Amino acid sequence: MINPYRMKLVLEDGTTLAGTSFGAPRAVTGEVVFNTGMTGYVETLTDPSYRGQILTLTYPLVGSYGVPAPRAPGSIAAPYEADRIQVQGLIVQSYVERYSHHAAVRSLGAWLTSEGIPAITGIDTRALTRKLREAGTMKGWLLPDGHDLDRTSAHAVDMKEEVFRAVAPAAPILYEGGKLRVLLVDVGAKDNIVRSLLERGATVDRVPWHAPLAERAALADGILISNGPGDPKDLGPLVAQIRALLAHYTRPIFGICMGNQILALAAGGDTFKLPYGHRGVNQPVQDLLTRRCYVTSQNHGYAVRNDSLPADWEPWFVNINDGTNEGIRSRVRPFFSVQFHPEASPGPQDASYLFDDFLRLCGAMSNHADTPRGAP
């Protein structure tokens, strides 16, 4: 007889770990990645950059503060980062069903189940993480009782153009704020990027990455290229659009995470896949200009190759753990980007000043847009 609570995790190298299901009893497959944050599962599970991935949380107790009420359609309220759970599946060591929090109205398991997302508890996530750190991220399967490993039957997300389209809004959305207008190029943007701009008084024109950007860019005081899932090299049409903008745009362009990678590719640089990525809320980075260090929130599997940058660009931030690139800037134009998340959510807000700096620059340049500072 099939037991709806039995589930197993199978990795591409054959490792099989048995556990208990606490989400939807559905078979899925995806890239198994780990995040080391101790809290923030509502924000993390709804971050569109996790599309296609099965997420392991290394913190052992998960679920104790429950999940708040769903937000109204069209709302971008915290702590949700998108309208739905984005991960393929969730792996934890000890799931806590009995939650306690003033804002909670449902358990984590009830939320996952209502959205059709499988989850497994009873897994030694620290051992699993050590394996992923040694072997690199691997493909894996979550298989409820009664499903055997048939490499084709589990639901998979094929990171094709439809997925990149699905994580962005179907049509542009205008969030009215103050005078400064930011064009947010949405590749799967976390809602806290929009909230961070609105809080600082900007108007946000949120457009899907595949929309024609040049005309809307001309109306904006600056452009922000968002975070997003998958390999930046699969977004050739966006890279081409940004490359065209870099040739003549005179106002600030800022990139976050995927935005950093897209800007690097558009400038003529290159990206590569990290062995197991950076996912957590205590990733240390250093600003190479000021030598100041920041503790940052991160979620990425790819990085920019420093030595691939053209002569008029330079590395801006470096990851202190592994020395990989965490940001780039043009030496001569107001174009710059970071690989970490200044909007945090979850995570420390040490780097939120970058939104202030970006908007200050947008304001300073908005009345003399044709003569960029420092232009050759």
Ligand X SMILES: NC(=O)CC[C@H](N)C(=O)O
49 assigned ligand-binding residue: yes
Applying CB under 6 A, which part among 58-66, 222-230, 243-251, 355-363 lies near ligand X? 222-230
Contact partners, residue 150, CB within 8 Å, separation at least 6: none
The verdict on whether 293 is a catalytic residue reads: no
Distance (Å, whole) CA 231 – CA 300? 10
Least separation in angstroms between residue 44's CB and ligand X is 11
| Active-site residue, selected from the candidate residues 43, 257, 326, 362 | 257
The length of the chain, given as a count of residues: 376
Least separation in angstroms between residue 279's CB and ligand X is 9
Task: Give the one residue of 131, 195, 251, 300 binding ligand X; rule: CB under 6 A.
Answer: 300
**Position 281: which residue type?**
V
| Active-site residue, selected from the candidate residues 81, 300, 341, 362 | 341
Q: Is residue 346 involved in binding ligand X (CB under 6 A)?
A: no
Least separation in angstroms between residue 111's CB and ligand X is 22
Least separation in angstroms between residue 49's CB and ligand X is 3
Task: Give the one residue of 46, 49, 125, 137 binding ligand X; rule: CB under 6 A.
Answer: 49
Distance (Å, whole) CA 375 – CA 309? 19
251 or 278: whose CB is closer to ligand X? 278
195 or 300: whose CB is closer to ligand X? 300
Only one residue has tokens 């679920």, namely: 63
Task: Give the one residue of 59, 209, 294, 302 binding ligand X; rule: CB under 6 A.
Answer: 302
Least separation in angstroms between residue 374's CB and ligand X is 28
| Active-site residue, selected from the candidate residues 43, 81, 326, 343 | 343
Distance (Å, whole) CA 371 – CA 376? 10
Q: Is residue 9 involved in binding ligand X (CB under 6 A)?
A: no
138 assigned ligand-binding residue: no
The verdict on whether 362 is a catalytic residue reads: no
The verdict on whether 341 is a catalytic residue reads: yes
Q: Answer for the pair 129, 58: CB distance below 8 angstroms, yes or no.
A: yes
221 or 343: whose CB is closer to ligand X? 343
Percent helix, strand and coil across the chain, each rounded to 5? 25, 30, 45
226 assigned ligand-binding residue: no
* Two tokens, residue 270: 């290159």
9-13, Cβ contacts within 8 angstroms, sequence gap of 24 or more = 9/91, 9/120, 9/123, 9/128, 9/140, 9/141, 9/142, 9/143, 10/140, 10/141, 10/143, 10/149, 11/131, 11/138, 11/139, 11/140, 12/138, 12/139, 12/140, 13/135, 13/138
Q: Which residues bind ligand X (CB under 6 A)?
A: 49, 227-230, 257-258, 299-302
Active-site residues, by number, are 257, 341, 343
